[in-house]
Amino acid sequence: MMKTDWMFEPDSRHFVLEDYEAALARWCPGCGDHAVLNAVQKLCRDEQLPPEQTVMVSGIGCSSRFPHYMKTYGFHGLHGRALPVACGVRSRRPELNIFVSTGDGDCCSIGTAHWIHALRYNMNMVVMMFDNRVYGLTKNQTSPTSPKGESSNTHPQGAFLSPLNPISVCLSITNASFVAQTVDWNPVHLYETIRAGFEHQGLAFIRIFQRCPHFTDHAFKEFKDEPEKVLLMTHERGIPVNDTVKRVFTNSMQHDPADIDQAHKLARRDDVLPIGLFLRNDQSERYDEYTKRGVNMSNGEKLSALNRELDRFAI
C-alpha cells in the first residue's frame, strides 16, 4: 500500500474482511449471532484493527463461541466469567482492543456479580450481551430475561417470575458510562451501536436483542413484524442513525444520553422496545487508568525500589 507521500512502506498492511474470519461459524442457520459477527468483522476492517492487537473474550454459551470465529486473539473461558478475564487482560495492556461477548444467562445470571462490578470498573472495552431470552446451548432453559409465562424445559408450565431488566440494572450501577440497546435484525443500527461502543473510552455495554430460531423464534417477532413497536432513541451524542434506519423505525424520539432520569423511564417501558443509547457519561472514572500505572518501569528502577523496601526490614 502506498502512503500519501508516495513512499513505499513494506511493513504497512491493509486488512480486508477475510483477515478477521476464522473457523466457519457453527451457529444455527438464522441465528442472530451471525449478524453480530458480521458487524464486528466489518468494524475491525473499517477501523483497520491489527488482528494481533485485538482480543475477543467470552464466557460459555452459544454467543460465547464468538472468539473461535474471529481470526484475532481469543479467550473462550468459563461460564459467567468473561468480564474478570477481560478486565485482567485490560489491566496492563492499554493498547489492545478488547471485545467481550456474553449472553443473558452468562452475564445476567451466573456472572451477575462480575457484570455489576465491571460496569463500575469502567475499563475500556466493548461488552456485547446477546439476549435471546433463553439458554440455547444447554437446550432450552428459562433465562433471567425470559418473559413471565414463557415455557421452557425447566418451566414447562411457564416462567413464574417477571424477567430481570438488564438495562435498568446497568443504569443503576455507579460509574456506568455507556449503556445501549440494539437488535440483530437491523444490521445498520447494530453496526453503528457497536462502533459507537468501540469509540467510547470506557466500558460500553450493549444489549443486543438476538433471535434464536431454534427455541425463541417468536420472542421478537412482534417487533420485527411491527417496527413501529420499536422506539428509536436519537441524539447528537447518541447512536448515529441514517435514513435507512429512520425509514424502518418510524417511531423515534430524542433522548439525551446525559438524562439519566429519562433513561430509567425509557428502560422501564414495556409497550415499546427502545433502541439506541440510554446513557453516556464520558466523565466516569476509569479503573484502567490506575491499573496501567508503572507498565513501562525499567528493571533498574524496580530493583532499586525493591532494595529500598528491603532496607525497611534490614537488621
Partner 1 sequence: MDTQAAHQQKRTQVTISEHIVEIVSDSGEGAQTAGQLFGTICAKMGNGVWTVEIIPAEIQPPARSRAGASGNRIRIGTDPITNAGDCADLVIAFNEQVLYSRIEQGALGPGTRILLDNKWSWDPVESIREAYQEAREDFASMGYSIYEVPIESECFKVVADPKKGKNIWVLGLLCSIYQRDLDLVKKELAKKFKRKGQEAIDRNLELLQAGYDWAESEMDVVFDLPTRSDDRPKLVMNGNQAIALGCMAAGIEVCSMYPITPATSVSHALASMFHKVGGFVHQAEDEIAAIGFAVGASYAGKTALTVTSGPGLALKTEFIGLAVMAEVPLVIIDVQRGGPSTGLPTKVEQSDLLAAYFASPGDAPKIIMAPSTIEECYHFVPLARKLAELFRGPVFVLTDANLATGVQPFLRPELSEDTLSPPIDQNRWNPEIKPYEWDQATGLSPRPVPGQRDGMYTLTGLAHDERSRVAYDSSINQRATERRSSKLKTLRATLKPPQVFGDESGDLLVVGWGSTRGAIEEAVTKLQGEGHSVSALHLRFLSPLEPGLNEIFSRFKHVMTIEINYSDDGHVSDRRFAQLAWLLRNETLIDVDCWSRVQGYPLPPSALVEALREKLGAYSEGAVS
Closest by alpha carbon to 165, among 60, 273, 35?
A: 273
In the complex with partner 1, which residue's Cβ is closer, 89 or 206?
89
Residue 70, helix vs strand vs coil? strand
Q: Supply the DSSP symbol for 21.
A: B
β-strand partners of 135: 141
The alpha carbon of residue 274 and the mean position of all alpha carbons in its chain are separated, in whole angstroms, by 17
Binder of partner 1 out of 48, 149, 269, 306 (CB under 8 A): 306
Interface residue with partner 1 among 42, 45, 93, 229 (CB under 8 A) is 93
78 binds partner 1 (CB under 8 A): yes
* 32, 61, 67, 144: which one binds partner 1 (CB under 8 A): 67
Q: What are phi and psi of 117, to 5 degrees?
A: -75, -30
Query: Which residue type sits at 98?
Result: I
Instruction: Kindly state whether residue 289 participates in binding partner 1, applying the rule CB under 8 A.
Output: no
Beta partners for residue 179, in sequence order = 205, 279
Which helix (H) or strand (E) segment holds residue 232: the answer is strand 230-234
Identify which range of 112-120, 168-176, 177-185, 204-212 contacts partner 1 by CB under 8 A: 112-120
Q: Does 37 participate in binding partner 1 (rule CB under 8 A)?
A: no
Residue 291 lies near partner 1 (rule: CB under 8 A): yes
Looking only at the bridges linking them, the beta strands covering 273-280 and 230-234 are parallel
Among 23, 154, 158, 228, binds partner 1 (CB under 8 A): 23
**Chain positions contacting partner 1, by CB under 8 A:** 22-23, 50-53, 55-57, 67-68, 70-78, 81, 83-93, 95-96, 113-114, 116-117, 290-291, 293-297, 299, 301-303, 305-310, 313-315
